[in-house]
């Protein structure tokens, strides 16, 4: 397997900028101002990639629209994490035959994680002839060139050659939010958890240089961004490939030391790489949110081993204890999978016990979905879908009870939030720990850090007053 990262040179990116210029001329010659629709599935990595796709499209003269109807180019940025995600994409691609019939000059592109799977690409080639272009995550930076080729030629384009992955600095970005920004610090994953498709579709771990990340953050702060989230599939293995002696905790400390009023978050950490130093750093810097998303996946040691997770439940719990010993109010969230192949009822009970013990503020819960090409897809699985659904319901009921208890405990407390928008009568904001708070106030507060006292709660949000 290819393991070397491809670094995309400034010359290569300048060439892409030229292609953007040519696309602009192509439309100007026809007296048309083109519009683009970009639809994103999956996680924040994809959201961050879509901001780059929009950035390239804007550089090529496209305006943005929020509907497929009448768009001159449609880009679906896809997710492969579970079967359900893929089915949604195929369903939506199917429906595009009609929009394209109504608007024949429409060009359709598919990109993102699904396009890193050769079987999916084959299916698109055979069964979806009206899709004009396909590119995998490694080829994102080449989008202007692919689009120009599709506009000028009659042939469909496919940029899906596998590689260990690329790093491209300086792709234009069009951010969707003016207060909160994603900053990818590393790409790919080396962990090969036995159920997961990500390492196959996003390539090997590769880190951006610290100075590139710091200058991006500095610029964001200068532009008035109030919240920065450092992103990576396995963010706490940041820097291992660079061999500069800078790890993720060092990077966080450096960003948190930048001047300006902002807060810092990060997503997602793997427990095997979450050392005490990272917790110490979170505790030490006021700008770092006291929140940790630390996926445990299962509370049973046999299952964790079969998942290839490289920690056991005792090690996981000791990390949680350490974090809480430093920060008693640390907000903990996590991911968990129900119904991993062969998971017995007793093994599932271990997961419930771990949840009871940790008492997470929020949980992202998933039913195991076999992904072709991963080891878990080949494992024996004697339990039925109905068994798994029953377990899933028990897990949700348990977490809902805990979430509600945790919500109620906020009543009477004063929390600092970043006011980020309006939802009907009330303003909205998020606490350090990511809790949604609704309160009444004037729009001039949006974009400010303010203190609110919590007076009430629902299952999903806290109600506060200034």
Would you tell me which residues interact with ligand SF4 (CB under 6 A)?
Answer: 189, 191-193, 196, 198-199, 233-234, 270
Minimum CB distance to ligand SF4, residue 257 (Å): 28
- Tell me the torsion sign for CA atoms 10, 13, 17, 22: positive
Among ligand SAH, ligand SF4, ligand F3S, none, the one that 460 touches (CB under a kind-dependent 5 to 8 A) is: none
Kindly tell me which of 193 and 294 has the beta carbon lying closer to ligand SF4.
193
Using CB under 6 A, list all residues that contact ligand F3S.
42-43, 45-46, 79-81, 113, 197-198, 202
* Partner in contact with 80, chosen from ligand F3S, ligand SF4, ligand SAH, none, beta carbon below 5 to 8 Å by kind: ligand F3S
Instruction: Tell the smallest beta-carbon distance from residue 116 to ligand F3S (Å).
Output: 8
46 binds, among ligand SF4, ligand F3S, ligand SAH, none (CB under 5 to 8 A by kind): ligand F3S
Alpha-carbon distance of 64 to 187, in angstroms, equals 27
Residue 48 binding target from ligand SF4, ligand SAH, ligand F3S, none, CB below 5 to 8 Å by type: none
CA dist 432 and 289 (Å) reads: 5
Distance in Å, CB of 298 to ligand SAH, minimum: 9
CB of 189 to ligand SF4, least distance (A): 3
As beta bridge partners, residue 335 has: 364
Least distance from C-beta 238 to ligand SF4, angstroms?
Answer: 13
Q: How many residues sit in the footprint of ligand SAH (CB under 6 A)?
A: 17
Given a contact cutoff of 8 angstroms between Cβ atoms, the answer to whether 322 and 276 are in contact is yes
User: Residue 313 binds which entry of ligand SAH, ligand SF4, ligand F3S, none, with Cβ cut-offs from 5 to 8 Å by kind?
Assistant: none
Strand partners, 75: 38, 109
Which option in ligand F3S, ligand SAH, ligand SF4, none does residue 337 bind, with CB closer than 5 to 8 A by kind?
ligand SAH
Q: Which is nearer to ligand SAH, 23 or 183 (CB)?
A: 183
Interactions with ligand SAH, residue window 271-310 (CB under 6 A): 295, 297
How do 436-439 and 462-465 pair as beta strands? Answer: parallel
Min dist CB 141 to ligand F3S, Å, is 17
From the list ligand F3S, ligand SAH, ligand SF4, none, which binds 82 (C-beta under 5 to 8 Å, kind-based)? Answer: ligand SAH
Task: Give me the residues paired with residue 35 across strands.
Answer: 63
Rounded to whole angstroms, the Cα distance separating 111 from 334 reads: 28
Partners of 6 in the β-ladder = 166
Least Å distance between CB 43 and ligand F3S?
3
Binding stretches for ligand SAH (CB under 6 A): 81-82, 195-196, 198, 233-234, 268, 270, 295, 297, 335, 337, 366, 368-369, 371
């Amino acid at each position: 397997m290819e393991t070397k990262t491809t670094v995309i040179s400034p010359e290569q990116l300048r060439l892409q900028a030229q292609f953007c210029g040519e696309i602009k001329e192509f439309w100007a010659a026809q007296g048309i101002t083109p519009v683009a629709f970009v639809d994103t599935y999956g996680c924040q990595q994809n959201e961050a990639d879509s901001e780059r796709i929009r950035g390239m499209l804007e550089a090529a003269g496209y305006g943005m629209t929020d509907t497929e109807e009448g768009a001159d180019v449609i880009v679906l940025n896809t997710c492969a994490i579970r079967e359900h995600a893929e089915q949604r994409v195929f369903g939506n691609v199917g429906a595009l035959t009609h929009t394209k019939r109504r608007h024949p000059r429409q060009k359709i592109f598919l990109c993102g994680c699904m396009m890193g799977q050769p079987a999916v690409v084959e299916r698109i080639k055979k069964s979806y002839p009206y899709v004009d272009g396909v590119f995998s995550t490694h080829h994102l930076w080449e989008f202007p060139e692919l689009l120009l080729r599709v506009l000028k030629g009659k042939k469909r384009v496919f940029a899906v050659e596998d590689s260990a992955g690329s790093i491209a600095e300086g792709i234009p970005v069009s951010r969707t939010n003016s207060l909160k920004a994603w900053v990818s610090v590393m790409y790919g994953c080396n962990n090969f958890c036995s159920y997961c498709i990500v390492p196959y579709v996003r390539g090997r771990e590769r880190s951006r240089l610290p100075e590139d990340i710091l200058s991006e953050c500095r610029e964001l702060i200068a532009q008035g961004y109030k919240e920065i989230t450092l992103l990576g599939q396995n963010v706490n293995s940041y820097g291992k490939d660079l061999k500069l002696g800078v790890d993720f905790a060092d990077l966080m400390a450096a960003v948190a030391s930048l001047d300006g009023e902002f807060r810092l978050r990060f997503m997602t950490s793997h427990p095997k790489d979450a050392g005490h130093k990272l917790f110490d750093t979170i505790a030490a810097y006021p700008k770092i949110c006291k929140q940790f998303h630390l996926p445990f996946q299962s509370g049973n040691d046999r299952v964790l081993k079969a998942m290839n997770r490289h920690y056991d439940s005792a090690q996981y719990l000791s990390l949680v204890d350490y974090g809480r010993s430093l920060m008693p109010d640390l907000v903990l969230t996590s991911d968990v999978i129900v119904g991993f192949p062969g998971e017995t009822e007793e093994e599932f009970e271990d997961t419930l016990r771990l949840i009871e013990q940790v008492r997470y503020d929020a949980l992202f819960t998933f039913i195991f979905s076999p992904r072709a090409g991963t080891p878990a897809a080949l494992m024996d699985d004697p339990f039925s879908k109905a068994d798994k659904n029953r377990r899933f319901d028990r897990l949700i009921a348990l977490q809902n009870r805990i979430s509600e208890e945790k919500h109620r405990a906020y009543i009477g407390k004063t929390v600092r939030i970043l006011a980020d928008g309006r939802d009907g009568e009330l303003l909205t904001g998020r606490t350090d720990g990511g809790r949604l708070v609704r309160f009444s106030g004037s729009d001039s507060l949006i974009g400010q850090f303010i203190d609110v006292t919590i007076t009430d709660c629902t299952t999903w949000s806290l109600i506060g007053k200034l």
